Amino acid sequence: MTDNYDIAEFKNPLFTVDSVLFTVTDGELKVLLVKRASEPFTGQWALPGGFIDMDVDHDADMTALRKLKEKTNVTPQYLEQLHTYSGLERDPRGFSVTLVYFALTAQMNTSTHITTVDDAQWIDVGKLKTLSVAFDHKYIIEQARQRLKQKALYSMVPIYCLPEHFTVGQFKSVIETIIGKTVQRKSIIRRIEAADMLEKMDEKVKSGGRFAQLYRVKSGVDIVNFERNLSV
C-alpha cells in the first residue's frame, strides 16, 4: 500500500468529496447544484461538496452527507460512490482528486429549503447543455446520469426518487424519464412482485381514472437487482 514516507512531509493532492444528487419531478430529471461563493469559478454552478473534516467525518460517506445537509438541507435516500476523478487539469489550483457520490431523493425532502434559497437549485439535466458549470462537473453529471440509467434498467433503485407512498404509475413515470423511453406497466408490476421489496398500503389514491394502489418500501429490505435488463 504505502512506501516509507512520513505523512506530514508527503505532498498530497487536493482532495475533495462531491455529490451528484438526482431527483425526478414533472417528468424531468433534475440535479442539485450550488452557486460557488469563492474562487475558482465564483458564481458558477457546481456540485455540492467540500473537504473531509477529519474531526467530525467518520469516513467520506459522511462527508458527502454532511455537505449535502449543510449546503442544501437534503438527506438523500440513496447514496453510493460514482467514481474518483483526478488529474492536473481539472482544477486551476493544481493536481486534484475528487471522490464523487451518486445520490437520489424524492423532491419533497428539500422543497421547503431549497426553492427559496438562491444558491442551491434543482437544475433540469436536459437544460445543462447550455449552462456553464464549474470544473469538469458537467462531464461528471453525464457519467452519473448514465449510471442512473443503467441502474434503472436492472434494479429497483428509482424508487428512491419517490416519496414514501407512491403508485405504480408514479414509479413507471420516474423510470421512463430516467431511461428516456416508455415501458409497459405490466413489466413494472411483474418486477415489483418479483423483487418483494414493496408492500401495498390499505389505501388508494385518485389518479384521473380508477384509484391507484399505494405502495411503500418494506422496512429493512435491501435494494434488489434483476438478472435481466429492460429493453433499451
Helix (H) or strand (E) holding 46: strand 45-46
- At 152, is the secondary structure helix, strand, or coil? helix
Of its own copies, DNA, none, which one sits near residue 137, judging by CB under 5 to 8 A according to partner kind? its own copies
Closest separation between CB of residue 58 and DNA, Å? 37
- At 232, is the secondary structure helix, strand, or coil? coil
Of its own copies, DNA, none, which one sits near residue 187, judging by CB under 5 to 8 A according to partner kind? DNA
Part in contact with its own copies (CB under 8 A); list of ranges 9-17, 103-111, 123-131, 165-173: 9-17
Per-residue contact track with its own copies, 108 to 147, x per CB under 8 A?
Answer: --------------------------xx-x----------
Work out the burial of residue 85: count CB atoms within 10 Å of its CB; fewer than 13 is exposed, 13-18 middle, 19 or more buried: buried
Q: Are 123 and 31 in contact (CB under 8 A)?
A: yes
Q: How many CA atoms lie within 13 Å of 124's alpha carbon, on the beta-carbon side?
A: 9
Nearest Cα to Cα of residue 158 among 99, 107, 104: 104
The reply on whether position 9 binds its own copies by CB under 8 A is no
Residues that bind DNA (CB under 7 A): 167-169, 183-187, 189-191, 194, 204, 206-213, 226-228, 230-231
- Between 117 and 230, name the residue whose CB sits nearer to DNA: 230
Q: Is the peptide bond before 40 cis (omega within 30 degrees of 0)?
A: yes
Closest separation between CB of residue 127 and its own copies, Å? 21
Angle between helix axes 168-179 and 185-195 (nearest 10 degrees) is 110
Closest separation between CB of residue 120 and its own copies, Å? 14
Nearest Cα to Cα of residue 148 among 17, 20, 6: 20
The reply on whether position 36 binds its own copies by CB under 8 A is yes
> Which of 9, 26, 27, 39 touches its own copies (CB under 8 A)?
39
> Which of 25, 28, 78, 83 touches its own copies (CB under 8 A)?
83
